[in-house]
C-alpha cells in the first residue's frame, strides 16, 4: 500500500480539533448555566462530542496503521460492481 494512503489518517486531526473545541465551549456554557436540566443536557452533549472524538481518532489510527481507508475500499468495490453491471450491456 502506498505511503500516501497511510497519510490520509492524519486528516483525522481536523475533526478531532473541531470537536474538542466545540466541547470546550459547551462545558464553559454548562459552568455558567443555573438550570440543572440544562447542565445535565450540556454534560450529555460534551460526552457525545468526546465519543465522536474517540471514534475519529480510532479511524485515523486505523488508517495510519493498516493503510486501508474504509471509504476508498468501498469506492473500489462500487466501481467493480459498476463494471460488472456494465459488462452485459457491452456484450450486446
Residue 76's pLDDT band (boundaries 50, 70, 90)? confident
Q: What is the mean pLDDT of the chain?
A: 85
Query: Is the pLDDT higher at 11 or at 76?
Result: 11
Position 41 pLDDT exceeds 80? yes
Query: Is the pLDDT higher at 50 or at 70?
Result: 50
Q: What is the mean pLDDT of residues 57-75?
A: 81
Q: What is the widest separation between alpha-carbon atoms in the chain?
A: 72
Which residue, among 12, 5, 27, has the nearest Cα to 61 in the 3D structure?
A: 12
* Domains in the chain, number: 1
Q: Which domain holds residue 73?
A: 3-90
pTM: 0.72
Amino acid at each position: 500500500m502506498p505511503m500516501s494512503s497511510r497519510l490520509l489518517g492524519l486528516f483525522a486531526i481536523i475533526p478531532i480539533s473541531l470537536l474538542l473545541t466545540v466541547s470546550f465551549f459547551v462545558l464553559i456554557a454548562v459552568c455558567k448555566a443555573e438550570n440543572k436540566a440544562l447542565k445535565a443536557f450540556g454534560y450529555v452533549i460534551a460526552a457525545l462530542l468526546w465519543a465522536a472524538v474517540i471514534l475519529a481518532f480510532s479511524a485515523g489510527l486505523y488508517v495510519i496503521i493498516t493503510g486501508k481507508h474504509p471509504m476508498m475500499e468501498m469506492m473500489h468495490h462500487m466501481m467493480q460492481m459498476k463494471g460488472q453491471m456494465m459488462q452485459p450491456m457491452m456484450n450486446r
